[in-house]
Amino acid sequence: MKRLEIDTRRGAGRPIVLVAFVVAALIITTVWYREGAGGPLHGARRVILAASRPFAIAGTVLTSPFRSLTGYLSDSAVSRADYGALKTQNDQLKARLARLEEARLENERIRELVKFAQAQDYKTLGCRVIGRPSNSWERSIVLDRGTGDGVEVGAAVFAAGGLVGQVTEATRGSAKVRLVTDGSSGVAVMVQRTRAEGVVRGSIEGRLSLDFVGKETLPVKGDVVVTSGMGGVFPKGLVVGDVTEVAAPQADLFPKVTVASRVAIGHIEEVLVMVGSQGVQPAGSAE
């Protein structure tokens, strides 16, 4: 019972201390504002600040690395966010640039095809290549146009650089073309300079050879080989390629002549197909 009375008395004395502190603070504040800059309180403040200045500088130096690290981490977080946004934007710009470059290249190829078609007296249809063979020995392509567009079996197919091949199959919406480089292909041709006639054949390797040209009219490297129009399969005057190599062994009846197509047949993307009745005969009649 006695201990309870002592605790009560101690708790009752605490408001007096608080009131004393408040009164003291009011007195000091009043004196501070009433005295001038040279008063005792202002002087005491200057002494305290001067005495604590070395400790403040030391604290600033000691905490500077931690503040710098905090700022770096904060900046790094922002930088990573900015980097992610810039990377996304950069990827989008690259994709757009690739599309624009593809469109530019396609326009150039089509422009060459149009110029070539305008220079010929043929009725043609522009087609895109949508299929290539899945094996190494078949040399053919599939086009995105068919009988519904006027494409017929046997029609000649060419590009700005020259002859590409001949339509061998056709459905309403697509057509298969046997390339001149195919081993079963044969094109009636003539050497433009000498007018000597022969047949350009493909091979399993995709090389072109000029056969049945006599040694008396031996072609030379650089001679241009064009379709002769014989047999009515291909119109006369289409460029097939250029002579790149000539060998005429004494024991052989005919020289061995290699021809290179001016068309990048393995990478061609757009072609022209001759439509109408001109020069259209069943596939295989060129041989």
Domain count, the chain: 1
Round to whole Å and give the CA distance between 136 and 157. Answer: 21
Tokens standing for residue 178: 């046997």
**Which has the higher per-residue pLDDT, 149 or 91?**
149
What is the pLDDT, as a whole number, of residue 179?
95
* Residue 160 resides in a domain: yes
What is the pLDDT, as a whole number, of residue 271?
93
> Could you read off the pLDDT of 145-195 as tens digits, one per residue?
999 999 999 999 989 888 999 999 999 999 999 999 999 999 999 999 999
Does pLDDT of 104 surpass 50? Answer: yes
Does pLDDT of 10 surpass 80? Answer: no
* Residue 39 resides in a domain: no
* Residue 202 resides in a domain: yes
Does pLDDT of 130 surpass 80? Answer: yes
Domain at 145, CATH number:
2.40.10.340
Does pLDDT of 97 surpass 80? Answer: no
> Could you read off the pLDDT of 260-272 as tens digits, one per residue?
999 988 888 999 9
**Which has the higher per-residue pLDDT, 227 or 47?**
227
3-state DSSP call for residue 151?
Answer: coil
**Which has the higher per-residue pLDDT, 275 or 280?**
275
Query: Do the Cβ atoms of 276 and 123 come closer than 8 Å?
Result: yes
Q: Containing domain of residue 200, as a range? A: 124-274
Does pLDDT of 75 surpass 80? Answer: no
**Share of residues in the chain with pLDDT > 90 (%):** 36
pTM for the model: 0.60
Question: Where does the pLDDT of residue 6 fall: very low under 50, low under 70, confident under 90, or very high at 90 and above?
Answer: very low
Q: H or E element: which one contains 100? A: helix 40-119
HEC states along 33-84?
A: HHCCCCCHHHHHHHHHHHHHHHHHHHHHHHHHHHHHHHHHHHHHHHHHHHHH
Does pLDDT of 284 surpass 60? Answer: no
Tokens standing for residue 235: 């119109």
What is the pLDDT, as a whole number, of residue 74?
60
What is the pLDDT, as a whole number, of residue 194?
92
Does pLDDT of 139 surpass 70? Answer: yes
What is the pLDDT, as a whole number, of residue 123?
85
* Residue 29 resides in a domain: no
Most confident of 10-19, 160-169, 246-255: 160-169
* Residue 88 resides in a domain: no
What is the pLDDT, as a whole number, of residue 4?
46
Name, in order, each residue with C-beta under 8 angstroms of 185's C-beta and a sequence gap of 6 or more.
139, 165, 166, 178, 179, 201, 202, 286
Round to whole Å and give the CA distance between 162 and 241. Answer: 7
* Residue 71 resides in a domain: no
* Residue 187 resides in a domain: yes
Does pLDDT of 101 surpass 50? Answer: yes
Does pLDDT of 285 surpass 50? Answer: no
* Residue 61 resides in a domain: no
What is the pLDDT, as a whole number, of residue 14?
65
Average pLDDT, the chain: 79
